Structures are given as C-alpha cells and as structure tokens.
Structure 1
C-alpha cells in the first residue's frame, strides 16, 4: 500500500514536470518567434538607413547588410558588404582604413537613426580619414545633432572646428595636465564685443 501511494505521488510529480516542460517549451517558442520578428524588422530598418547613409558619406556607391542564407535568423552570421564609388563590392574586411571607417560610421549612425540615443562617444574615428572624408563625416554628424549629442575624441582640426564646445587636455610642463574648454558661441560673441 505504501508503494502504491509512493508510485502515485511520483506519477503525479512526473505529470507536473511534463506539463511544466511543455509550458516552458511553448514559452521559448513564442519568445523565439517574437525575437525573429523583431530582429528581422530591426535589420530591415537598419539596412535601409545604412544604404542611405553609406551613399551620403561616400557620395555614391552601395552597401548592404547580408545574412547567411538558409540559416535561422537567430543563429545567422551577418556580413557588411560595401561598394564605394568606382569599386567592386567587398566585405568590409577588404576595404582600406578610411573606407572601413566611413562604412562603420554609416552603420553606427544607421543604428542610431533606428534606435536614437541621447549621446554617442566616438574615439578618434576620423584618424584614418583624409580631409574630404572628414568633411563628409562632420556633415553626417550634423544631421543627427537634433536627436544625439556627440562626444568626439579627435586630433583633426577640421573635426574640432565643427564642434560647438571643445574640451582639451594639454601638458604645459612634464607630468602636469591642464584641462581647457572653449564654447565657440561664447568665443564668437566675445570676439564680436572686442571688435
């Protein structure tokens, strides 16, 4: 009789575990479906913005976000393919330093356009750019100033000239750093008053 009760209790527990397993599997399937849908929508949105911004930063050309065909969206690899004006389409890894930078800037800003963020820190992203590309880079950043504040670490005078506020660190004597800041609107007003 004790064995029968024990067997009955174990069978009830087994049924509960089976039911819980089924519920969890259904929940995972729903989450996976939602994740696939949201990821697919996001990739398509970012893809559209990326294509547009790539053309803007390069003054032409084409770019795309390519997913591995025939693979579950949640497990696929993602490749960035770019064709700067006058060149063949290539994986981003085969581009020059400046082309990689501009492609990555276009991709980053495409993501920002899809999911705006109040600020973005860019650390010397313009280091590999020539003057013409620095101008394009700065121009594209200006398009985002209504929704995103950029903190850009740079050595480029052209990038610095585009800033509204400039913070710098100098070393006037060995081992002693000094912070300086200039608000360009205030500096322009001060110069106008002095004249």
Structure 2
C-alpha cells in the first residue's frame, strides 16, 4: 500500500498505487510484460492519429549500459538497478496542430504505459535528468526530426536495500495537490493563481 487516499470513491486504485520508486528488485521484466506496456501506449489517442511517440529500451548487454550512460549521475546511481532502461522520444517533423500536440500525445502514451505497468505489478520512473546531446549522439536521432523527451526505467519495486541513506529517505509516494487547486468550473483561472 502507498498510504495515499482519494475522496473520489469511484477512482480506480491503480492511480493511487502508481508512484515512481528508485529501489528495484533484480527480477527481470518479461518480453510479454514489455510488449503489453507498449501495446497500452499504442492505443493512446493522438491528434489526427499522428502517434508521435517512440521508445528505445534495453534490458541487458551493452545497449543497456549505453542507455545508462546518457543519464545524469544522480539518476544513474539508482537507475542502474532497474532491469529495463529506455528513452521516450517524440517525433518533431510534424506541422500545425500535430506539432503543438506532439508532447501532449507522447505524454499521454507514456501515462498509458505507466498505468498498464502498475496494473501488472511493475513500476516506471521517468527521468528528465538526461544528457540530451549525448542521447542524440548515442541514438543517431537528428534533433530536427525527433526530440528525446526523457529517460525511463521499468521494474518491480525493491525493498530499499539497494539505495544509500539519502535516497532511502525519499523512497515513498509523494502527495498531490487537492483537485480544488487545479480544476475550476469557470471560464477564467482565479486571479493570482500563477503569482
């Protein structure tokens, strides 16, 4: 259990169970489990069905080490224990509304992947702390064609024994703002909201 709760009784508990751990079990993620995660992303809606999301990942060997190498040091210290390491990529060669919705659509697909992972008893941790230039060089992706959005790891939550004391102290679900702070029945946001 995460200790999280919601005052919306119909909310599926998968949303409360989902959080981003840093401690990982050494149990591998199966090919069937990975395929299911990407299948969930596949069915995400996107503007004009552009489906701009792509994922590169590795679960062993030199490819995994290379992907770990583009993470910033602070992330690499704990991400190295996760069985699967990858990158989230959004195609940039889109025009008009599709260009505007590219990051939104890629985020939606990634959230579908994360919720499916939670349903399978897996966890995903996204990482903005990546060396973007090194990631483009490693993958051969032209930044004019696609944007490397973030890194990610997938695995089963560990018991915390693989973390140093500082990280172990942060190994718990974070809280969330109340709905009343971000959803308003109105045509304008409250004055001073972004001050």
Normalising by structure 1, we get a TM-score of 0.31
More strand by share: 1
Bigger relative contact order, structure 1 or 2 (CA pairs below 8 A, ≥6 apart): 2
More helix by share: 1
